[in-house]
Copies of this chain bind each other. A is one copy, B any other.
């Protein structure tokens, strides 16, 4: 039997809004450790990894490891029916092919339960090796989102270059070129406004803006985002989820072309 009670239900709503556009169906894995998910996006280019640790739940009961195949769009639809201040409880009986979401309004005046069919999904749980990154940029998540959105109005890909001084985002398209430079800045009033760059060696990598823009759907989950870069390795875009865990997006860099219209 599974029973997870999450007081800050809005967290789960935001989590599903962040990943439902990237991944259609995925297995949620429940263990004594926590509630997690790992899935490739529909075009098998990006990867999402979510972890909500058991300690973050007000009540966490998971008698045996359970993998629940879920259509994330449908789950997001159901969670939309929960108020932002509602307490959400996830319930599943052993061997059952359904999961139940229960929403309690803060005043306990309204109690809803939504039952959803589970599905069988081939899970391809990929081990993600812990890597050393050449550069780790921590910046306000809203700023990162703004830059990705702005640049995607000019071009399709972004070249992210990190030096000690800052991080540069560059793109080019039919109407021109664009460069945005964010300087390292730790002397801010609020720590969440800081831009912090940890760099072992300079990195320059190109990514498809379409996916980065999809990742920034997670912006409401955290004020800060962490971007970890190494040459040849997928970038990791991480949003910490307060007291509970994280959501991480992985995206392989594009092999850079010298020519805009390469003729092999």
Contact = CB atoms under 8 A, between A and B. Distances in A.
Interface of A: 71, 74, 77-78, 80-81, 83, 98, 107-117, 143, 146, 150-151, 153-154, 175-183, 185, 195
B113 A178 contact: yes
Contacts of A175: 71, 74, 77-78, 116-117
Nearest 5 Cβ contacts at the A-B interface: A81-B150, A116-B176, A74-B175, A112-B180, A114-B178
Contacts of A81: 150-151, 153-154, 178
A185 B106 CA distance: 14
Given A80-B153, A112-B181, 16 more contacts: A81-B154, A108-B183, A109-B182, A109-B183, A110-B180, A110-B183, A111-B183, A112-B179, A113-B178, A114-B176, A114-B177, A114-B179, A115-B178, A116-B176, A117-B175, A117-B176
A110 B183 CA distance: 6
A117 B172 CA distance: 12
A182 B114 contact: no
Contacts of A116: 175-176
A146 B81 CA distance: 8
A149 to B, nearest CB: 9
26 contacts: A74-B175, A77-B175, A78-B175, A78-B176, A78-B178, A81-B150, A81-B151, A81-B153, A81-B154, A81-B178, A83-B146, A98-B176, A109-B182, A109-B183, A110-B180, A110-B183, A111-B180, A111-B181, A111-B183, A112-B150, A113-B178, A114-B177, A114-B179, A115-B177, A116-B175, A117-B176
A249 B206 CA distance: 45
B185 A109 contact: yes
Contacts of A150: 80-81, 112
Q: Which one of A71, A78, A112, A117 has the highest number of Cβ atoms from chain B below 10 Å of its Cβ?
A: A112
B77 A107 contact: no
Contacts of A176: 74, 78, 98, 114-117
